[in-house]
């Protein structure tokens, strides 16, 4: 077996673990000069702002639930989602989290609704970023412990670099 080759048994396990169909597609970074970043707070429909605030208040008093919204067309649904996420980011009282819930088409079909014109949404506080602070504290602790003293550095031979 050459270096870098995997034994046959390991190759089989790996192939079974990643049994999928389809292809891998690269999705480039979003251009933030378009979409929600290009919207101003004044450009967002005042009715939509009031609805988002009402959903936010209801979501805080009844955590864990979601809201089901229906629209006339798919374009209306997408425009609403764009404006809702923009408002959530630009909100004067502080940013909140607006997310379209991944509801299966089967659920909509059982309720007699179309997936193209129906959307489940959650509106709540932004999740706390607990990881970054802990990581920064750990890095600071390592830096404090890694004080280099002359005794700790290895001696070098003269004349050699």
Distance, CA of 93 to CA of 4 (rounded, Å): 56
Identify the pLDDT of residue 49. 92
Cross-strand pairs, 101: 120
Classify 83 as helix, strand or coil. Answer: helix
Distance, CA of 98 to CA of 120 (rounded, Å): 11
Identify the pLDDT of residue 32. 44
Per-residue pLDDT of the chain (161 residues; tens, 9 = 90+): 455 554 444 444 344 444 445 556 665 654 444 444 567 888 888 999 999 999 999 988 888 888 888 888 898 888 889 899 889 888 888 888 888 888 777 888 888 888 888 888 888 888 776 666 777 788 888 887 776 655 655 655 565 55
Distance, CA of 3 to CA of 20 (rounded, Å): 28
Identify the pLDDT of residue 117. 86
Identify the pLDDT of residue 53. 92
Distance, CA of 83 to CA of 35 (rounded, Å): 9
Q: Check: CB of residue 59 under 8 Å from CB of residue 122.
A: yes
Detail the DSSP E strand segments found in 77-142.
Answer: 96-101, 118-125
């Amino acid at each position: 077996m050459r270096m870098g080759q995997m034994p046959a048994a390991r190759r089989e396990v790996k192939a079974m673990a990643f049994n999928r169909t389809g292809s891998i597609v690269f999705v480039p970074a979003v251009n933030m000069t378009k979409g929600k970043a290009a919207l101003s707070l004044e450009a967002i429909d005042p009715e939509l702002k009031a609805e988002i605030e009402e959903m936010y208040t209801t979501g805080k008093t009844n955590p864990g639930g979601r809201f089901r919204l229906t629209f006339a067309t798919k374009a209306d649904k997408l425009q609403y989602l764009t404006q809702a996420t923009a408002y959530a980011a630009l909100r004067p009282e502080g940013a909140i989290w607006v997310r379209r819930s991944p509801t299966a088409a089967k659920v909509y079909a059982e309720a007699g609704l179309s997936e193209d014109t129906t959307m489940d949404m959650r509106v709540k506080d932004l999740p706390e970023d607990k990881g970054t602070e802990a990581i920064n504290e750990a890095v600071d602790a390592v830096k404090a412990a890694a004080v280099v003293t002359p005794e700790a550095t290895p001696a070098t031979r003269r004349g050699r670099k």
